[in-house]
Chain A
């Protein structure tokens, strides 16, 4: 399993770059990950609304939410999600939030 050093700490990630253990993530790592994967920085409050939701859903349900779920569970619309995390919002938000890739087709 590859490792990556973020905010001075070594973390385990899978081949796609998703965290293997969400507990290894800290808030300080988020901006660094965002920059690496092309999410516009600095991260805004709106990014953090999504990031916090990703983690909460992951720890509650065992998988992160899809784009449709994010827009249903928050006040962030689908359109805004594609501005915040342009190349695949659920996937990129999960990466920044340090959780595995969300499962779900819709």
Chain B
């Protein structure tokens, strides 16, 4: 007996149309990759929204977004012993070094990068629960921020796309 069943067609990978990227950490290494992902998405013609929550909100905080630091403690990938990373000034020093590298490559700093991402048409949103938790006001956050939204509104916005949590 011969098997006459045709082979099912190989699934064609559907292109990504939309990404919603959640930024929950306030360190340079927590924020920067998310910004690269969002900016890269827009440059590929993919719709992108950034949702800042918890410490990630520092990235859109007027007074803090220019002072984002590298975590030198509890960061094994940095290859600096935690005790050394904990010495006062270690994080500032490492941040300076990283910022120099970023500048050398002609990459934007965090504040400039967020401006740029806003100009690409990506949405920038802060999490209402975090704003309440940290006792922040709308005025504490940068003007480019589109809105402060609830988690429900976030899911509505993310519907039909991919969600990335960093």
Contacts and interface: CB of A to CB of B under 8 A. Distances in A.
Given A87-B45, A89-B43, A78 B120 contact: yes
Query: For this complex, into which size category does the number of interface residues on chain A fall?
Result: 10 to 19
B45 A106 contact: no
Interface string A62-90: 00001110000000011100100011111
A87 B121 CA distance: 11
A89 B36 CA distance: 16
Chain B contact surface mostly: helix
Nearest to A77: B119
Contact of A90 (B43, B107, B121): B43
Interface of B: 36, 39-40, 42-45, 107-108, 113, 116, 119-121
Given A67-B39, A67-B43, A78-B116, 16 more contacts: A66-B43, A67-B120, A68-B116, A79-B119, A82-B119, A82-B120, A86-B45, A87-B45, A88-B42, A88-B43, A91-B43, A91-B45, A105-B40, A106-B36, A106-B107, A106-B113
Interface of A: 66-68, 77-79, 82, 86-92, 105-106
